[in-house]
């Protein structure tokens, strides 16, 4: 276990360094900047603003200032020192710096306000996905070849084929305009969560349904399940206690990528339903060339995806004791 965690931590550091480096230089290579507006700034004002945010420095120096806890003023580098003119200590200190567009907020402030909203939306979406996916997958496996099985598989295929923003459009037309049961946008109550949560989780529910069906069919054909039936156990005990545990193993391995998909998919859903989450800020930061905010959210998503994949690997060993992490 210790060797496995150390190896994962090493690869996490390499992955994070690669993501930060590539993202930093890609954003700087795009034409335009965070202070470009329809009305041209006075040359003296532009120079002062760029100097304030160190945008007049060479790229390598901006990168070193952003990544490390250095105060790279015009007199040279000083570790955690300097004249106090620097705006942040660097990513290594957990400080993502000030937002270039939201002048009164730092990136840490924006993430602290918006991340709980995105996390709650993702939780609702994952609950929809697991509840619908596992239930329909079990029913499809237990009624293999029946009309119910065919119908559920067709529905799962449709859910996989349709993007979440298309599903969101159908839901808005049906449950906001035709049958006004839910608000069209905003955040603050359970009614605001249901439609965007379902729209975000529906495609993943379709994948989970297919994976559950496949896993259940394979598990139901194994010897220990036939032994359980031969002992005279009730169908409920056989399915829930013995078959389901092995049948959802493919689902558990999928939860890491699914969580990543929910995080990235929430960008579109949050814009459609006007939810003030991290995804909305990420989209706005790309449109506004807000370098620090875009980098902060990118790093946040990278950390979350890697961490959740690690949790999935650990959970896999709990469900199947035959898997040993040290052997990986």
Per residue in 227-250, pLDDT (tens digit) is 777 777 777 777 777 677 777 878
| CA 285/CA 281 separation, integer angstroms | 6
pLDDT > 70 in the chain, percent: 81
Q: What are phi and psi of 106, to 5 degrees?
A: -90, 165
Asked if pLDDT for residue 38 goes beyond 70, the answer is no
268 compared with 49, residue with greater pLDDT: 268
The contacts of residue 194 (CB under 8 Å, 6+ apart) are 124, 182
| CA 14/CA 18 separation, integer angstroms | 6
300-316 core/surface letters (b: 16 or more CB in 10 A; e: else): bbbebbbebbbebbeeb
Top CATH class, 108-327: mainly alpha
Asked if pLDDT for residue 184 goes beyond 60, the answer is yes
Mean pLDDT of the chain: 79
Sign of the C-alpha dihedral, residues 125, 127, 128, 133?
A: positive
Q: Model confidence over 185-216: pLDDT tens digits? A: 888 888 888 999 999 999 999 999 999 888 88
Q: Model confidence over 2-36: pLDDT tens digits? A: 787 888 889 888 998 898 889 888 887 877 666 66
Asked if pLDDT for residue 82 goes beyond 50, the answer is no
Which pLDDT band, with edges at 50, 70 and 90, does 328 fall under? very low
The contacts of residue 60 (CB under 8 Å, 6+ apart) are none
Sign of the C-alpha dihedral, residues 47, 48, 50, 54?
A: positive
Asked if pLDDT for residue 42 goes beyond 70, the answer is no
Q: What is the pLDDT of residue 49?
A: 63
Q: 153 vs 41, 98, 158, CA distance in Å?
A: 58, 49, 9
Q: What is the pLDDT of residue 198?
A: 92
- Compute the average pLDDT of residues 175-190: 86
| CA 130/CA 248 separation, integer angstroms | 10
Q: What is the pLDDT of residue 78?
A: 44
| CA 304/CA 37 separation, integer angstroms | 34
- Compute the average pLDDT of residues 111-140: 90
Asked if pLDDT for residue 301 goes beyond 70, the answer is yes
Q: Model confidence over 245-254: pLDDT tens digits? A: 777 878 877 8
Q: Are 203 and 160 in contact (CB under 8 A)?
A: yes
- Compute the average pLDDT of residues 174-195: 87
Q: What is the pLDDT of residue 206?
A: 92
Q: List the single range of 40-49, 142-151, 260-269 with lowest mean pLDDT.
A: 40-49
Q: Which sequence spans correspond to the domains of the chain?
A: 41-105, 108-327
- Compute the average pLDDT of residues 142-162: 88
H or E stretch including 189? none
Q: What is the pLDDT of residue 81?
A: 39
Asked if pLDDT for residue 84 goes beyond 60, the answer is no
H or E stretch including 323? none
Q: What is the pLDDT of residue 35?
A: 64
């Amino acid at each position: 276990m210790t060797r496995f965690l150390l190896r994962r931590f090493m690869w996490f550091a390499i992955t994070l360094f690669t993501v930060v480096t590539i993202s930093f230089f890609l954003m700087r290579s795009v034409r335009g900047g965070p202070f470009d507006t329809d009305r041209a700034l006075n040359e003296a004002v532009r120079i002062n603003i760029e100097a304030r945010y160190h945008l007049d420095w060479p790229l390598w120096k901006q990168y070193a200032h952003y990544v490390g806890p250095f105060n790279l003023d015009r007199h040279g580098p000083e570790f955690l020192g300097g004249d106090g003119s620097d705006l942040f200590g660097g990513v290594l200190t957990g400080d993502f710096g000030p937002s270039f567009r939201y002048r009164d907020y730092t990136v840490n402030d924006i993430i602290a306000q918006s991340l709980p909203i995105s996390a709650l939306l993702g939780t609702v979406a994952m609950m929809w996905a697991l509840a619908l996916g596992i239930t329909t997958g079990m029913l499809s496996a237990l009624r293999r070849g029946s009309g119910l099985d065919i119908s559920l598989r067709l529905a799962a295929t449709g859910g996989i084929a349709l993007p979440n923003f298309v599903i969101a459009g159908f839901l808005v037309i049906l449950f906001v305009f035709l049958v006004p049961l839910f608000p069209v946008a905003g955040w603050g109550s359970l009614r605001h969560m249901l439609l965007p949560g379902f729209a975000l989780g529906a495609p993943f529910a379709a994948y989970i349904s297919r994976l559950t069906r496949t896993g259940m069919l394979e598990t139901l054909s194994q010897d220990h399940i036939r032994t359980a039936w031969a002992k005279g156990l009730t169908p409920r005990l056989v399915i829930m206690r013995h078959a389901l545990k092995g049948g959802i193993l493919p689902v558990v391995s999928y939860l890491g990528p699914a969580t990543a998909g929910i995080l990235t998919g929430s960008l579109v859903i949050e814009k459609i339903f006007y939810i003030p989450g991290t995804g909305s800020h990420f989209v706005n930061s790309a449109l506004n060339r807000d370098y620090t905010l875009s980098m902060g959210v990118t790093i946040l998503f990278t950390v979350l995806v890697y961490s959740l994949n690690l949790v999935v690997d650990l959970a896999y060993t709990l469900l199947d004791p035959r898997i040993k992490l040290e052997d990986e």
